[in-house]
Amino acid sequence: MLTGSSPARPGGPMTPARTRPRPHTWIIEFYSSAIGKKAVMAVTGLLLLGFVLVHMLGNLKLYYGEPEHLNEYGHYLRTIGEPILPHSGFLWIMRGGLILAFVLHIHAAVSLTMMNRRARPVGYKGGRTYSAANYAARTMRWSGIIVGLYLLFHLADLTWGTANPDFEHGEPYQNMIASFERVPVAIVYVVANLLLGIHIFHGAWSLFQSLGWSNPRFNVWRRYFAVAFAAVIVVGNVSFPLAVLFGVVD
């Protein structure tokens, strides 16, 4: 607070302490709190859920019977926004958002875990008892790690092609067939997508709580939503490798 009538000189003895917070300070303060981290997890989780749903719906083109449908869809995604944007420009904007959401989601998860550990550095006396929240948090941790590893393999398999000997750029239909025809790869996809279902179920259930939308009357709908969302994703995603493996699609 300034006293006296003379104006403050910058750097002089009368310079007032900075009273107005820098515009970004509240963001850092908010993110430093457990509530802030949970909100970031919920919002980024919602974006990732949206991606997984749209991605699964797009892959349903596998069932159209002709490879062109899926391949043209993949090509179309690369041309959105042309000629205002360069080739794949829109796709890269989407990828940027997705990568940012993914990184923030993981950062918030890891730092929340560390916060919880710091808050309770000594173990429980007489062994640990796990509450429901604890169980969900542990499930989210290991299913999240496995889904992350699966994603790396998936990109190497169907985007970069380094894990797929028959990979051809711009031909997602043929690449999927070539990939899922190999039994171990199909098994990896089935198992990973079942785990993704568990992750999605807990995530979709808890994101409303994290955003402060929790009410006993509303909770039953939260559960329906989480089960339905996870089931749709799992059934769709698991069907692709199985359909190829059992010759429904070739």
Nearer to ligand HEM, 75 or 218 (CB): 75
Q: Detail the DSSP E strand segments found in 49-204.
A: none
Whole-angstrom distance, CA of residue 181 vs CA of residue 18: 65
Residue 158 within binding range of ligand HEM, rule CB under 6 A: yes
* Closest distance of CB 192 from ligand HEM, Å: 7
Nearer to ligand HEM, 112 or 242 (CB): 242
Helix (H, G, I), strand (E, B) or coil at 49: helix
Our measurement of the distance from residue 210's CA atom to the centroid of its chain's CA atoms, rounded to an integer in Å, reads 16
What is the size of the binding site for ligand HEM (CB under 6 A)? 20
Of 104, 108, 176, 243, the one binding ligand HEM (CB under 6 A) is 176
**Burial class for 16, CB neighbours closer than 10 Å (0-12, 13-18, 19+):** exposed
Range in contact with ligand HEM (rule: CB under 6 A) among 29-37, 52-60, 138-146, 216-224: 52-60
Of 167, 237, 244, 245, the one binding ligand HEM (CB under 6 A) is 237
Number of residues that this document lists for the chain: 250
Of 33, 159, 162, 214, the one binding ligand HEM (CB under 6 A) is 159
**H or E stretch including 109?**
helix 89-119
Range in contact with ligand HEM (rule: CB under 6 A) among 13-21, 119-127, 152-160, 204-212: 152-160
Nearest in space to 29 (alpha carbons), one of 17, 37, 19:
37
Four-residue CA torsion sign, 59, 60, 65, 71: negative
Q: How many CB atoms lie within 10 A of CB 243?
A: 18
95-124: contacts with ligand HEM (CB under 6 A):
95
Residues of this chain that bind ligand HEM (CB under 6 A): 52, 55, 59, 74, 95, 147, 151, 154-155, 158-159, 172, 175-176, 189, 193, 196, 237, 240-241
